[in-house]
C-alpha cells in the first residue's frame, strides 16, 4: 500500500504540470531535487518493454487521465487541467522512469505541487486510480510494482498537507 501511495505523486505532479503549461518555468534546482533526478535512477531491465514501450505508455497515460477526470473524490482537483498536456507529461515521466528513450520536459515536482493542498488520502486515491488503469491495460502486477517503486520517492514533494 505504501508503494501505491507514493505512486500517486506522479499523477498529481502531472496534473499541476498541465496547469503550468502557460506559466514561466521555475528555475532548475540541483539535480537531486528536480523531477528528472528520481527518473534518472537506473530503470529495472525490461520495464519499458513490459509497459508496451511508447505506444503502451501512451495508452496507459490516456486511460489513467480519463479515470482521474471521472473519479468522484479527486476528479474535481483536475477540473482546470488540460487533459492532453497532463497525458503528455505523465507519458514522458513513465517513459523516462521505465528506461525508455524519452525526455521529461515537465517541472520540478516540489514547485509544481507547492500550492495544491494534496494530502495523503488524495495521493492514495490517485495511486489506486493508476493501479486500475494498469490493470485495464493488462500490465502484470509485478511490472506495476516496479513502476510504482520508481514513482514512490516523489511523494515527499507532492503531498503538501501533512
The beta strand positions in 51-102, using DSSP E, are none
Q: Under CATH, which architecture does the 2-21+33-158 domain have?
A: Orthogonal Bundle (1.10)
Residues 6+ apart with CB under 8 A from 136: 63
Residues 6+ apart with CB under 8 A from 159: 9, 118, 119, 120, 123
Instruction: Give the residue among 134, 137, 136 at the shortest CA–CA distance from 148.
Output: 134
Instruction: Report the pLDDT value the prediction gives residue 38, as an integer from 0 to 100.
Output: 47
The torsion angles phi and psi of 30, rounded to 5 degrees, stand at -60, 150
Contact 76, 15 (CB under 8 A): no
Instruction: Report the pLDDT value the prediction gives residue 82, as an integer from 0 to 100.
Output: 94
Instruction: Report the pLDDT value the prediction gives residue 109, as an integer from 0 to 100.
Output: 85
**Weakly modelled stretches of the chain, pLDDT under 70:** 1-41
Tens of pLDDT, residues 123-147: 899 999 999 999 999 999 999 999 9
pTM score, two decimals? 0.76
Angle between helices 120-136 and 141-151 (to 10 degrees): 150
Residue spans per domain, the chain = 2-21+33-158
Amino acid at each position: 500500500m505504501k508503494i501505491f501511495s507514493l505512486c500517486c505523486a506522479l499523477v498529481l505532479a502531472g496534473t499541476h504540470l498541465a496547469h503550468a503549461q502557460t506559466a514561466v518555468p521555475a528555475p532548475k534546482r540541483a539535480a537531486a531535487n528536480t523531477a528528472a533526478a528520481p527518473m534518472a535512477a537506473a530503470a529495472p531491465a525490461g520495464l519499458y518493454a513490459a509497459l508496451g514501450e511508447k505506444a503502451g505508455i501512451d495508452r496507459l497515460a490516456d486511460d489513467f487521465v480519463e479515470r482521474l477526470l471521472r473519479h468522484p473524490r479527486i476528479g474535481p482537483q483536475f477540473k482546470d487541467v488540460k487533459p492532453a498536456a497532463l497525458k503528455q507529461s505523465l507519458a514522458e515521466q513513465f517513459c523516462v522512469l521505465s528506461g525508455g528513450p524519452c525526455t521529461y520536459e515537465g517541472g520540478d515536482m516540489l514547485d509544481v505541487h507547492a500550492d495544491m493542498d494534496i494530502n495523503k488520502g488524495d495521493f492514495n486515491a490517485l495511486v489506486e486510480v493508476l493501479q486500475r488503469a494498469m490493470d485495464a491495460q493488462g500490465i502484470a502486477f509485478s511490472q506495476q510494482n516496479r513502476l510504482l517503486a520508481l514513482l514512490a520517492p516523489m511523494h515527499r514533494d507532492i503531498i503538501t498537507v501533512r
